[in-house]
Amino acid sequence: VEKIIFTLLKQFDFMKRITIIDIAKMLSVNPSTVSRALADHKDVSSETKRKVRECAEQFNYIPNLHARFFRLKKSTQIALILPEVNMFFTPSLLNGLYAATEENGLSVVVFYSSNNLIREQESIKKCLSWAVDGVIIICSDETKDDSHLQDLVKAHIPVVLLDKVVDSDICQSVTIVDFDIAFNCCNILINKGCKSILAMFSSARFLMSQKRKKGVNEACTRSNISLENVHIEDVSSIEKTIMTMDLSKFDGIFVMSDEILFYLVGALRRIHFDINKIKISAISDGILPKNLGFDIDFVHHSGYEMGHTAVQRLIDQFT
Amino acid sequence: VEKIIFTLLKQFDFMKRITIIDIAKMLSVNPSTVSRALADHKDVSSETKRKVRECAEQFNYIPNLHARFFRLKKSTQIALILPEVNMFFTPSLLNGLYAATEENGLSVVVFYSSNNLIREQESIKKCLSWAVDGVIIICSDETKDDSHLQDLVKAHIPVVLLDKVVDSDICQSVTIVDFDIAFNCCNILINKGCKSILAMFSSARFLMSQKRKKGVNEACTRSNISLENVHIEDVSSIEKTIMTMDLSKFDGIFVMSDEILFYLVGALRRIHFDINKIKISAISDGILPKNLGFDIDFVHHSGYEMGHTAVQRLIDQFT
DNA sequence: ATGAAAGCGCTAACAT
DNA sequence: ATGTTAGCGCTTTCAT
């Protein structure tokens, strides 16, 4: 009888997805034995393992992960909540993150918040439904606190805040120490002899901007350097912003990110400002400074590393 | 008795995840009724629906998607196979793609191939295990044909090739018509009076480079313009490449992508070449040309739109 | 309009 | 080393 089934299945293997039960029938063993064999469980004879694996291979057995996850109530899958993909920092961040998840056999489900708090909250609900093993979240620009993360913590799902973070007691963060890096970056200008610095930040609504601003302020205060701060609310209007200013009074510009740097340099070129007349120092992953054609100092801020670390931190919490 | 259960559950709602069965018990109805009510099935009384929804809300019912997917043998989830995330085209592509999936209530599982064919093949196996409803794949640089996609097609899982594609009869592609866009882009230079053109491409190993090269060749041949082709195998060595050339003999440069454009301009600046002396025309999404500080013509190549379209094409195949 | 019952594929106690 | 059994939570057919 098994022979017949075997032959029949062989004929239909192009349409039928083989299950563990099918394999069990064919080999006249119990499904649990097959399951154990495939999982390389120690107390299955190597002979049985061989037969099972051969058969699975033969009939192109594909495990049904939903059945497995359902049964196990876990999923080797993590969620990534992403506000948007910009060209400056996100790419290296994602490369680091995906590399780390692949290394650890984790799958990533992406939920896209469009930089919108409501959507971010919805994404968190989805994480619960999906029974993900962990969540990495890059907060939207609208996110001000971690209250919506409570549900995840309650459900014992580890959470790591990445890059754009909010202050939180209930979950870990992987981000740069904004104050320090800005402080150091600004000091590059100061050490090079700048006496009057223009510092450019993203919108003051972002925690990141505020913290970096404090670092810059501290650096300038300590060295008694004249400082003017500018917040760029919208990169497309950066040209207008700098045109209203008298740039000649500055001998150094601090720039808080690659994004601002990119648009700043574009704007300066369009108004034919001679960039060689001024020193620029930026917080950057290094690609832009090397390719914009000027001496631009930078403090290295590695997205790749951060993405990689975030996954590691998450895994550490799996216990 | 139900009252007691109700009260008990209420006390423990912070630790217990409520299921449909729990709700059914509490309301003394059948689980199937609850399931139907939550799905807004037509022949459930509105009174019952109200009660069920109220209770679900009350106890923070979270559906178990793995159970549902397991049962239904489908998942409202698609896979994205991604070679890597670069800063030039991928961000807008991903934004378009994620926006479209969110609009359509689909989740995205990302598999990362690290530009590696073996990993790409493994990812395809994973797609089968995951029982995804469809697959969007951006081919790795190593991918030369669609043979590994056969398994997906056999399993009736729709596949859309995106951006970096290979020729395929078995699945759809969403990509630019390389020949045409390169032809048009090169003609911009010709129409502006260029007589001697340098054309810069990515590695000749890529189908995309070959096709765009043909477009450029055709444009130049038709107008009887002198043409020299260069392939950039590695962007970091672009400076060396152009230093070995006599750029003064060209009056126009065609550039096949934002990535090449970015590094080309960086290199030209580093060797203090006066970019205003030459016309540049690129295939680009437009951000770079507007911010590099020179007149750079471009033919617009929208990643966002392509990402969005790819999802649409996939959904069209769900039927 | 609702209930009863079966089963998706898998794994882990618990037997033997 | 292998078999038996039960059940994860959900949906759907069929019955009432």
Question: Of chain B residues 10-49, which have a beta carbon within 7 Å of strand C?
Answer: 28-33, 36, 42-45, 47-48
By Cβ distance, the residue of A62, A155, A294 closest to B128 is A62
Q: A311 with A136: CB under 8 angstroms?
A: yes
Confidence of residue A6 (pLDDT cuts 50, 70, 90): low
- Find and list the nucleotides of strand D having atoms within 7 Å of a protein beta carbon: 1-13
Cβ count within 10 A of residue B265: 25
Q: A24 CA, C16 C1': separation in Å? A: 19
Q: Which long-range contacts (CB under 8 A, 24 or more apart) does A13-16 make?
A: A13/A59, A13/A60, A14/B154
Share of chain A above pLDDT 90, in %: 78
Q: Each residue's pLDDT tens digit in chain B (319 positions)?
A: 555 555 555 544 455 788 999 999 989 999 999 999 999 998 899 999 999 999 999 888 999 999 999 999 988 999 999 999 999 999 999 999 999 999 999 999 999 999 999 999 999 999 998 889 999 999 999 999 999 999 899 888 999 999 988 989 999 999 999 999 999 999 999 999 999 999 999 999 999 999 999 999 999 999 999 999 999 999 988 999 999 999 999 999 999 999 999 999 999 988 889 988 999 999 999 999 988 878 899 999 999 999 999 999 999 998 7
CA distance A220 to chain B (A): 30
- pLDDT in the model for residue B221: 97
Radius of gyration over alpha carbons of chain A, in Å?
27
- pLDDT in the model for residue B319: 74
Cβ count within 10 A of residue A139: 27
* Mean pLDDT across chain A: 91
By Cβ distance, the residue of B14, B109, B114 closest to A107 is B109
- pLDDT in the model for residue A43: 85
Q: In the predicted model, is pLDDT for residue A148 greater than 90?
A: yes
The 10s digit of each residue's pLDDT in A99-126 is: 999 999 999 999 999 999 999 999 999 9
- pLDDT in the model for residue B13: 47
Q: A65 CA, C12 C1': separation in Å? A: 17
- pLDDT in the model for residue A3: 56
Strand C atom within 7 Å of A203 CB: no
The 10s digit of each residue's pLDDT in A50-64 is: 999 999 998 889 999
Rounded to whole angstroms, the Cα distance separating A313 from B235 reads 33
Residue of chain A nearest B268, judged by CA positions: A293
Strand C atom within 7 Å of B237 CB: no
A318 vs A218, more confident? A218
Q: Taking CB atoms and an 8 Å limit, are B75 and A66 in contact across chains?
A: yes
The 10s digit of each residue's pLDDT in A222-232 is: 999 999 999 99
Average pLDDT over residues A148-169: 91
Rounded to whole angstroms, the Cα distance separating B282 from B297 reads 6
Residues 6+ apart with CB under 8 A from A310: A97, A100, A136, A160, A162, A174
Q: B58 CA, C2 C1': separation in Å? A: 23
- pLDDT in the model for residue B118: 96
- Max Cα-Cα span within chain B: 93
Beta-bridge mates of residue A197:
A227, A252
Average pLDDT over residues A152-174: 92
Amino acid (one-letter) located at A298: F
Best residue in B148, B291, B296, B306 to probe A by mutation, most A CBs within 10 Å?
A: B291
Q: Taking CB atoms and an 8 Å limit, are A293 and B266 in contact across chains?
A: yes
User: Strands across the sheet with A296-300, in order?
Assistant: A226-232, A196-202, A252-255, A279-284, A296-300
- pLDDT in the model for residue A212: 97
- pLDDT in the model for residue A13: 47
Task: Look up the pTM and report it.
Answer: 0.90
Q: What does the buried/exposed string (b/e) look like for B283-307 if buried means 16 or more CB atoms within 10 Å of the residue's CB?
A: bbbbbbbebbbeebbbbebbbbebb
Per DSSP, the residues of B19-73 read: -HHHHHHHHTS-HHHHHHHHTT-TTS-HHHHHHHHHHHHHTT----HHHHHHHHT
- pLDDT in the model for residue B242: 92
Strand C atom within 7 Å of A71 CB: yes
- pLDDT in the model for residue B4: 55
Tokens 């948007």 identify what position?
A84
- Report the range of poorest mean pLDDT among A11-15, A266-270, B18-22: A11-15
By Cβ distance, the residue of B114, B287, B293 closest to A270 is B293
By C1' distance from the Cα of A43, the closest nucleotide is D1
